[in-house]
Amino acid sequence: MTIHSGEIIPFRPHQCTQCENFVQDYKQCTAFNKVVQLVPGIPSLTDELRAIFSGESGEDCSKFDPLPSEHDLSLFVKEVRESKEHYMKLVEKEMDVNVPEKKVIYASVALERKPGYGQALGLLEYLEKEGVQVKKIREVYGFDSDGYPASNEEKNIIMDEARQQPPPLTDKNAAAGEEWYQKAYHAVNSGFKIEHTYYLKALLHNPNLRLAWEGLEGAARAAGQYDLAENCLEALDILDNNGFVQHRQDILSSP
């Protein structure tokens, strides 16, 4: 088994902590990322590794990118708000930035587009636990105080949907649902079309098979099918609140 590692670069005390490429939590750098092939002969299976530090240097870095000013961040808020990015994609993009304010901004704009969106709320809660002044940042850059922390309105809607009886499920349908789920799970490298077909078959037999909804949501997100991923999250919200999906088509447009 090959163990891959990122580039090794010197730490520059006079620049690194003031650079947008510096990952404070892991003491790594994203300016010198290295792409490695995980499996020989399969070009599509790659990973991007951050640079790690060893030793120190007093020389200036050619890729130094100073932390954004308050004015820069105000422009960033405007840019993100004017973008056409799906709210799920906005939360995903926080992984590409190291500045806590930008992470808060991505999540906050996502909440403007989808109030109560769980992953955006979860990100803000995580950042707050890590010491980021989430509420202050949101206030400075003009986000509505009602958006975070979460209100109970969305939860109440979900709970209303959850107050129902489970649909009939025969042993035959349960087994068929599990079989199609396993096929979908092992088709991860076969392309989204095949995964999608298999997950739909699993949910046709058992619309409350949580693993199938989770798998379909992940596959849809990876393929950029955010509307489908959103539908899957709605189903998962119902299941999380002890509810039941009566029919697959109640959530998805596919018959």
What pLDDT, in 10s, does the model give residues 143-195? 988 778 766 555 555 555 545 788 889 999 999 999 999 999 999 888 999 99
What pLDDT, in 10s, does the model give residues 220-254? 999 999 989 999 998 998 898 888 998 898 888 65
C-alpha closest to that of 143 among 106, 90, 118, 99? 106
| CATH 1.25.40.10, the chain: domain bounds | 162-250
Task: Write the CA distances from 120 to 53, 158, 183, 234, integer angstroms.
Answer: 31, 17, 31, 15
Report the predicted TM-score, pTM, of the whole model to 2 decimal places: 0.71
Count other Cβ atoms within 10 Å, centred on residue 227.
10
Architecture of domain 162-250: Alpha Horseshoe (1.25)
